[in-house]
Structure 1
Amino acid sequence: MRSLLKNAREQKGLKTRELAQLAGIDQALISKFESGTRKPTKDQVIKLSQLLEIDYETLMVTWLKEKILYEIGDEELVLKALILAEQEIQNNKKEINSALVSSIQNILDEIEILKNKIHSFNHFELRQISKTLELEFVFKSIHLNKNPLTLEETKLVINDGLTISEKSMQNHLEAINFQEAVFYIKDLTQKKTSLNEKDFLLLHNLIFKGFESENSGKYINDPVITREMNLFFNWHESQKNNLHPIILASEAHLKILEIKPFENGNLQMANLALNWILTQYNYTYATIEEDQKSIDEYFSILEKSQTQNDTSIFINYITRIEKENLKRAIQLVEK
């Protein structure tokens, strides 16, 4: 804890006095936090995490670890007690997940009906849906990342190999690369390959192919990031058969954005991971509409979910988006 706080403060070029003023915490306390002679409160941890831009989960886990060690030290039965505590926490999580599923059960039931209807279509109709939705997913995904190509221009670039005047080479490459990433996920889905680190890094390499190659396919050079991503993939592996796919996909998206493992492309990778999981379970792409109102809503929901530390806010949002996109898929055939 102390090294995390001190290193982050120094990296931001702040003196203890300046940090104390920004945080509304006594300067002497800041010094004691950094020397390890005093522990911050939970509220102080949250405030320092935001001001120093330290990953909230990393700082909170460190704080909790030190709190546990301080409270129980080397008591003889501590390991047995921790095992029992872990079991109880897991049981509580199951109850919370069950409550969350119950709260959105009606819309989940509607989604299953829509999904089954799509799967009743013939091969030609399914191909028509897939082709249209893949194009829209590429366009809306790169648009979310401020790429200026229109839907029609995106189609000309990725389907016909044309060059759009007054649009940069990077604009073109972003569309081409993202389509390759979508095809790669499609292939992984057909092979029933679930989210994993090797293919996740390959996807990052794909979306930056031809530009920013130096950092593509690599995490930020930070052991904390590497550890956090290991924990992320362990979490996914342990929960993929326990959580509803929409909940699993939504939480994966949030976790990637919290960790921010890459120098660039974290939003795209969170988006790809979300849809990799969804398509693996035969759902359609959860795409954000290209109009500014929808984009603003997406970022607002993300911020609200993160600041309130409440994943259900984002899960409810993605559930609604998935339902709308399934209805859109059906309309492509029935219009």
Structure 2
Amino acid sequence: MKSLLKNARENKGLKTRELAQLAGIDQALISKFESGTRKPTKDQIIKLSQLLEIDYETLMVAWLKEKILYEIGDDEFALKALLLAEQEIQKNKKEIDSAILSANQIILDEIEKLKNKLQSFNHFELRQISKTLELEFIFKSIYSNGNSLSLEETKSVINDGITISGKSMQEHLEAINFQEIAAYIKDLSLKKTSLNEKDFLLIHNLIFKGIEFENAGKYKKESLILREMNLLFSWYETHKNNLNPIILASEIYLKILDINPFEKGNSLVANIIMNWILFQNNYVYAVAQKDKNSSSEYFSSLDEYKIKNDKSVFINYILKTEKENLIHAIQLNNK
């Protein structure tokens, strides 16, 4: 952990004195954190993570590891104790997951009723609704990423191949790329394809198709990324049949943001993968929006997750979004 803190501070060009002033922590303590002679508190870890732009999970894992090693050292029973602790943590996690499911059972039941009502429509009605929802998915996805195309302009670009005056070539390409992505995840869903590395990387590559980015479809060159991604795919396989699909999709979104596997485009990929899982289970798109016109609910739910390690607020946000979008989809049939 000490090297994480020191390297991050030096990379930002800060002196220990300057970091101490920004963090409100004594300069001598900063030096001791970097030399390993003192350990930060959890509150100090949160501050340093934000100021030095160190991934919060990475720093917390390093901090907890050192706390554990300090407490147990090389005691002969240390490994047995760690195994028992891991089992206890897993047990507690299952209880938390069960509590989340129980707390949201009412809205989950409401969502299921809405989904069944939508699925009761005839093929022609569903096709018309699907076309509208797909256009909205493309528009919301690119708009939340800073694209200035309006909904109607997006429709003109992807359906009619029209070039919109005053809009950049990149903005046009983003709309076209997301049309291809929407078709791709629809195809994966119909084939019941499981989440895998090949399609995960291809989706990232499609986001930047025709747009200059040499690392499209490639993980960051960090030693832990590949391991973390393999753990993600394994986690998905383990839980895809025993977690509610909306909760599964929400957790996948958070896990992708935690791993942060790409140089850029991580939140876009997280959104696409989440909606792939939803679509595969006959739900409608639930784009997690972070644009200037949306409420602060998205950001506050992520903050709650990062600071308190409480995923329930974000899951609630996605459940609410999914319910609203199902109601919207049903209403489209009456227009």
TM-score range, shorter chain: over 0.9
1:277–1:216 CA distance, 2 compared to 1 (3 A): same
Residue 267 of structure 1 corresponds to which residue in structure 2?
Answer: 267
What is the identity, as a one-letter code, of the residue corresponding to 2:266?
Answer: N
Q: Give, in whole Å, the separation in 1 of the partners of 2:222 and 2:292.
A: 35
Identity %: 74
Residue 253 of structure 2 corresponds to which residue in structure 1?
Answer: 253
Structure 1: state its 5+ residue gaps: none
**Conservation of the 8 A alpha-carbon contact between 1:178 and 1:207:** yes
**Which 4+ residue blocks in structure 1 deviate beyond 6 angstroms?**
none
Residue 200 of structure 1 corresponds to which residue in structure 2?
Answer: 200
What is the identity, as a one-letter code, of the residue corresponding to 1:193?
Answer: T
Residue 280 of structure 2 corresponds to which residue in structure 1?
Answer: 280
1:230–1:25 CA distance, 2 compared to 1 (3 A): farther
1:228–1:19 CA distance, 2 compared to 1 (3 A): farther
Q: CA deviation at 1:290?
A: 9.8
Shifted more, 235-244 versus 25-34: the winner is: 235-244
Q: CA deviation at 1:275?
A: 0.7
Residue 215 of structure 1 corresponds to which residue in structure 2?
Answer: 215
What is the identity, as a one-letter code, of the residue corresponding to 2:123?
Answer: H
**Conservation of the 8 A alpha-carbon contact between 2:290 and 2:299:** no
Q: CA deviation at 1:156?
A: 1.4
**Conservation of the 8 A alpha-carbon contact between 1:16 and 1:30:** yes
**Secondary structure in 1 aligned to 2:319?**
helix
Residue 165 of structure 1 corresponds to which residue in structure 2?
Answer: 165
Q: CA deviation at 1:288?
A: 5.5
What is the identity, as a one-letter code, of the residue corresponding to 1:311?
Answer: K
Q: Give, in whole Å, the separation in 2 of the partners of 1:300 and 1:69.
A: 34
What is the identity, as a one-letter code, of the residue corresponding to 1:235?
Answer: W
Shifted more, 85-94 versus 189-198: the winner is: 189-198
Q: Give, in whole Å, the separation in 2 of the partners of 1:22 and 1:288.
A: 32
What is the identity, as a one-letter code, of the residue corresponding to 2:13?
Answer: G
What is the identity, as a one-letter code, of the residue corresponding to 2:59?
Answer: L
* Superimposed CA distance per residue, residues 40-67 of structure 1 (whole angstroms, 9 cap, x where no aligned partner): 2222222211111111111111111121
**Secondary structure in 2 aligned to 1:220?**
coil
Name the count of aligned residue pairs: 335
Q: CA deviation at 1:89?
A: 0.9
Residue 327 of structure 2 corresponds to which residue in structure 1?
Answer: 327
Residue 11 of structure 1 corresponds to which residue in structure 2?
Answer: 11
Matches within 5 A, 1:34-113: 34-113=34-113
Shifted more, 287-296 versus 214-223: the winner is: 287-296
**Conservation of the 8 A alpha-carbon contact between 1:288 and 1:295:** no
**Conservation of the 8 A alpha-carbon contact between 1:287 and 1:325:** no
What is the identity, as a one-letter code, of the residue corresponding to 2:18?
Answer: E
Shifted more, 45-54 versus 101-110: the winner is: 45-54
**Secondary structure in 1 aligned to 2:279?**
helix
Residue 190 of structure 1 corresponds to which residue in structure 2?
Answer: 190
Q: Give, in whole Å, the separation in 1 of the partners of 2:147 and 2:321.
A: 22
Q: Give, in whole Å, the separation in 1 of the partners of 2:271 and 2:100.
A: 22
Shifted more, 235-244 versus 68-77: the winner is: 235-244
What is the identity, as a one-letter code, of the residue corresponding to 2:33?
Answer: F
Residue 234 of structure 2 corresponds to which residue in structure 1?
Answer: 234
Q: CA deviation at 1:295?
A: 5.1
What is the identity, as a one-letter code, of the residue corresponding to 1:85?
Answer: A
Q: CA deviation at 1:113?
A: 0.8
1:286–1:89 CA distance, 2 compared to 1 (3 A): same
Residue 144 of structure 1 corresponds to which residue in structure 2?
Answer: 144
Residue 119 of structure 1 corresponds to which residue in structure 2?
Answer: 119
TM (normalized to structure 1)?
0.93
1:212–1:311 CA distance, 2 compared to 1 (3 A): same
Q: CA deviation at 1:323?
A: 0.5
1:234–1:6 CA distance, 2 compared to 1 (3 A): farther
**Conservation of the 8 A alpha-carbon contact between 2:46 and 2:307:** no
Q: CA deviation at 1:257?
A: 2.5
**Conservation of the 8 A alpha-carbon contact between 1:205 and 1:213:** no
Q: Give, in whole Å, the separation in 2 of the partners of 1:316 and 1:213.
A: 34
Structure 2: state its 5+ residue gaps: none
1:70–1:302 CA distance, 2 compared to 1 (3 A): closer
